[in-house]
Amino acid sequence: MTGSIQRNVMGLDWGRQPDEAFAVVIDASDGSVKAACAGPVTGYRSTRLWLHALAYEWRIDSIWAEANSVGGPNIEALQAEGLPVIAAQSSRSSMTTLIQNVMLAAERGDLILRDGNPLLRIMSACEFFEKHGVVLYRIPYGEKDSPLVALALAWHGVNNSAAGISFV
């Protein structure tokens, strides 16, 4: 888009050893996925350093990070270090809604994933099912949902840019 200002938004799903964290960067001006990558598995300090490098490289405007479990203390540390992190508390059902939203955006062409992007494979493998009246998602055994969660959080951030702003 000529004349538009690029605004990069990151979604982050924390990993617990031996799984790595996963980050997705979306250009909010055109909905294109610019980066999708796994972080180090050597500990949370290394993960935070990796996030600093990504935020600098991609000139990130906001990072939507899963706040559940280990996310809370790491988000606080990143915020104290100056990164624009927004905590995203979620449940299994609310995450399902975010994932449904990102799938719909991809179908409509609002979210642009280039051919060969590994996120396409995990998106096509994702299934939705109902349990006790609640729609949930699952991915095949042995797959990790971290890339899908990171993508869903980034897409949520693209569409909710004003949320989380504070004046200190």
Residue among 119, 120, 55 nearest 86 (CA)? 55
Question: Cβ distance 6 to 27 under 8 Å?
Answer: yes
pLDDT score of 108: 95
pLDDT tens-digit series, residues 3-51: 557 799 999 999 766 678 999 999 999 999 999 999 988 888 999 999 9
* Domain parsing of the chain, residue ranges: 8-159
Entry pTM: 0.88
Q: Residue ranges of the chain with pLDDT lower than 50?
A: 1-2, 164-168
Tell me whether residue 99 is exposed, middle or buried, using C-beta atoms within 10 angstroms of its C-beta: 0 to 12, 13 to 18, 19 or more: buried
* Sequence letter at residue 155: W
Class in CATH terms, 8-159: alpha beta
HSE toward the beta carbon, residue 59, CA cutoff 13 A: 5
Q: What angle, 0 to 180 degrees and rounded to 10, lies between the N-to-C axes of helices 71-80 and 44-58?
A: 50
pLDDT score of 1: 44
pLDDT score of 60: 96
State the Cα–Cα distance between residues 15 and 135, nearest whole angstrom: 24
HSE toward the beta carbon, residue 106, CA cutoff 13 A: 22
Using the structure block, give the residue that is written with the tokens 């000529």. 2
pLDDT score of 62: 96
Q: Spell out the alpha helix ranges (H) of 109-159.
A: 118-125, 146-159
